[in-house]
Structure 1
Amino acid sequence: MALSKSSNDTFVNEFILTGFSRRPDLQIVFFLVFLSIYLITLLGNLLIVFAVCHNERLKTPMYYFLCSLSILDVCLSSDIAPNMLSNLLSEQKTISYAGCFVQLYFFCVLGSTECILFAVMAYDRYVAICNPLNYILVMQKKTCLGLICGAYMAGVVHSLIEVSCTLQLSFCASNVLHHFACDFPPLLSISCTDTTINEFVLFIFSSLITVPSILVIIVSYVSIIVCVLKIKSANGGLKAFSTCASHITAVTLCYGTTLYVYLSPKSESTVENRSVATVFYSVVIPMLNPIIYSLRNKDIHMAVKIMFQSKMNF
C-alpha cells in the first residue's frame, strides 16, 4: 500500500489521533471505562453466539440473524477498541498509515453490513407476524444464509469503493485526526486534495446502504403495526409486538448515531459531537445490543442457563 506523499516530497506514514487528548487528567478513567465496555461487549455477544449454537430451540431464523449481529458487534468493537485503549495509555496517540486504512476498511464493511442486517431482521419479524403460516417456507435456512451473505457482500463492495477513493487523497497539510479512530469525515477534513468527489461518493454510496435499509424497516414495521391492530386479542397483539420492541430500540440507536455522523453538516462545532456519536456507535452500541435483545428474552435466558449448567456438570 502506497504512503501518502506530501507537497514537500515527504511521506505521511502515520496519523496522530487527538480524540481523548483534551482531557489528559481523565485518560486512566477513560481507559478503565472503555476496557470495561469492551470486555462486556465480548462477553455478552459471545454468550449469545454460544447459546444459539448449542441450543436446538434457538436454531430458528430470528436467532440466526441475532447470532450474526453478535458476531458483527464483536468484530466492530475489536476493530476500534484495542487501538483506542492502547492510545489512552500512551503519550504518542498514533496509528500507522496502513493501519489506519485497514481499520477504516473493516469499520466500513462491518458498519454497512450491520445496517443491512437490521433491515433483514425487520423483514424476518414482518414475515413471522404478518404471514406466520408461510414463515417456515419463506425463511428457509438457505434463504437466511443468502440474506446474511448478501449483507456482507454489499458491505464489502461498499467499503472497497469508499476506501479506494480515500486512498487517492494526499495528506500534506496535516496528519492530525481530531478523532479517536480512522473514519471518512476526519480524513477528508485534513486532506490537501480536493475532496468534492470523495464527499459525493461517500454520500451516494452511504445513501445506497442506509436509505433502502431504512425503507425496508419502516415498511416492515408499518405492516406489523397494521397487522397487530387487527388482532382481536389484546394479549395476542401485545405479545406479537413485544417481539419487535428490542429490534426497534437497537435500530433507533444504530441509525440515529450513524446518520448524525455521516449526514450532518460539516462544521467545527460538530467535530467533537461526531466523535462522541462514533464512540457510541462503534463501542457502546455493540455492548448494548446483547443486553437489549436478551433482557426480556426468556429463550436466551434459558439457553444461557442450560449452557452454564451443562458446563458445570461436565
Structure 2
Amino acid sequence: MNLLSIVVPCFNEEETVEIFLKEIQKTLNDYNFEIIFINDGSSDNTLKNIKDLANANSNVKYISFSRNFGKESAIYAGLRNASGDLICVMDADLQHPPSLLPEMIESVTNEDYDAVAARRTTRKGEAPIKSFLSSFFYKLFNKISEMGLVEGATDYRVMTRQVVDSILQLSEYNRFSKGLFQWVGFNTKWIPYENIERVAGETTWSLWGLFKYSIEGIVAFTTAPLSVSTLLGTAISIIAFIYMIIIIARYLLYSDPVQGFATTMCAILLLGGMQLLSIGVLGKYLEKTYVETKNRPIYIVKESNIDDE
C-alpha cells in the first residue's frame, strides 16, 4: 500500500495534537501513513506533547523550528521531508475534517486526479466581518490576477509525489501556498465541506494577521496594484489639467479670480494621499524583491527526529 505522509503545521497547539493523532489513527486504521508535525516556534507545550506522541508511535515524526517562521515555511518544511507516495497537508485543530481523507485518497489513487483539495462552502461560527472580508479577498484576487483561486479553498489537500516535487521547485522565500498549489497546475478535484470549529484551543489568526496574509498573496501573484497606481496618476493628471484650463478660461472671460481655500486643501490632500499610496504599493514590491535577493533560508531547524534534518 502507498505510504501517505501527513504534514501538520503547529503553532501553540498543545491541546490539539493528541486529539488529532487519535482521529487520524481511527480514520486511517487500514492505511500506511506517517505524520510529520512541524513545531513552528510554539511558546507552549506543543513540542513536548509531540515528542511524547513520537516516542509512543513510530510513524510520528517532528521538525521543530528555532523560532516562529510562519505557516507557509512549516508547510514547505513538511513537504520537503515527506517520504510518502501521497502527501497530505492539514491543520492540527481538526477544522480540516479527517473523515474526508478516505475519499481524497481514493480519488488520487484510483481516479484521474493529481490532487484532491477541500474547500469550505460555509463559514459558520466565524465573525461576520471576517467572512465578508474573506469572500471579498477571493473576488478581488480573481479580478486582478490571471490565476484564479477557488473560493473557500483551504490548504487541506492530498497530492501525488509529482505535484509535491513541482511545488518544492518553487523555493521562493515569500510563499502563498494557495497560489502555489494553483500555479503548478495539475488535475485537481475539489471536495466541499461545511466549516467546523476548532476542537480545542484558540486560533492564532487575528483579523490583522489575515489582512497581511491577503496582501502577501496579492503581491506574490499579480502586479495589478502597480498598474492601478499608474492609471490613477494618469487620471488625476488629466483631471487636474482640465480643471486648470477651466480656471484660466473663467479668469480670461469673466475676470473671475480663483477662490476657495477648502478646495485647494482638498486637492492637495487628495494628491498627497494618492502619491503616498502609490509609493506604498511600489515599496511593497521592492520589499519582496529585497527579501528574495538576500537568499535567506525559508526556515531553520532546531531539532528533529527525521534523518534528513
TM-score by length of 2: 0.26
Which protein shows a greater Rg?
Answer: 2
| TM-score where L is the length of structure 1 | 0.26
More strand by share: 2
Which structure: greater helix fraction? 1
Structure having greater relative contact order (Cα 8 Å, sep ≥ 6): 1
